[in-house]
Amino acid sequence: MKIGQKSRLYLYNAVSNQVAWASENKQIVAVSKSGYITGVNNGTVKIYATYKNQKYTCRITVPKVSISNTSVSIYAGKKVSLKLNNAYGTTSWKSSDRSIATVSSSGQITGKKTGKTTITATNQGITYTCTINVLDLNKKTNNAIDALIVTARKEIGYREKRTERNLDNKTANAGYNNYTKYARDVDDYYQGDPWCAMFISWCMMKTYGRNTAKKLLKDWPYVACRYLPYYLPSYNTPKKGDIVLFYNGSDYEHTGLVTKVQGARFWTIEGNTKKNNRSYS
């Protein structure tokens, strides 16, 4: 049984008002004269029923009530749920600072702004707490973008290869047959194909891991510029960290990673290109 829960024990084939009931520890389970038991605290206890000089025993365990987490970090605008394990009856929830995080009647937490607050759950007059640390999602996003750009920047100067030799060397075996370490690592099926999009796939895989890269790109592996608009939202004003698609008037011909935006101009890192400056309208 659980703390606060009530039940009744019976001694079969006995005259009920002639049965004497007792608990070996009333601080864990209390028992009334008529055999009603109440969970008081966690632990294991024996309940005794005595009838006609004969003692009968019932062993009862009351599980410990605990909050699912005592410390949680979430991002502003995101949600996370808490619960009380082994709780019985109604639980009330409260946030010590609703401007930082709110909590619903079911224990769902919503981050509002950066900071810390304490969530308190009350059940059967006992309180349980969890510290909520609300983080800035924009800061996390900016850090993730910066990490991606660092990965891409380290690859500047990489030359495609004539053959599949020396793929990890930036300049050795340079040629024009589109052999790269990027296709080898992402999907060797595309080895020998134009690789500007494959370069983006590789950078994201190296920065975030393959599974996360797949989720972010949706089109995996990203190998052809023309297909990406079917998977990801498109817009005309780039932001740092965006994937840019270059349009030649009839088709998307090239792609790159936006590293900086200043007014109407933006800077990129691109694979499979020699061009240092581009002008598009």
How do residues 23-81 score in pLDDT, each as one tens digit? Answer: 999 999 999 999 999 999 999 999 999 999 999 999 999 999 999 999 999 999 999 99
Quick one: tokens of 57? 């025993």
Residue 18: per-residue pLDDT: 95
The β-bridge partners of 47 are 23, 58
- Residue 241 sits at φ, ψ, to 5 deg, of 95, -10
Mean pLDDT of 2-10: 96
47 Rama class: left (phi>0) / alpha (psi -120 to 50) / beta: beta
Q: DSSP letter at 174?
A: B
Residue 278: per-residue pLDDT: 52
- Residue 191 sits at φ, ψ, to 5 deg, of -60, 130
Give the pLDDT confidence of 205-260 residue by residue, as tens digits.
Answer: 999 999 999 999 988 999 999 888 888 888 888 999 999 999 888 899 999 999 99
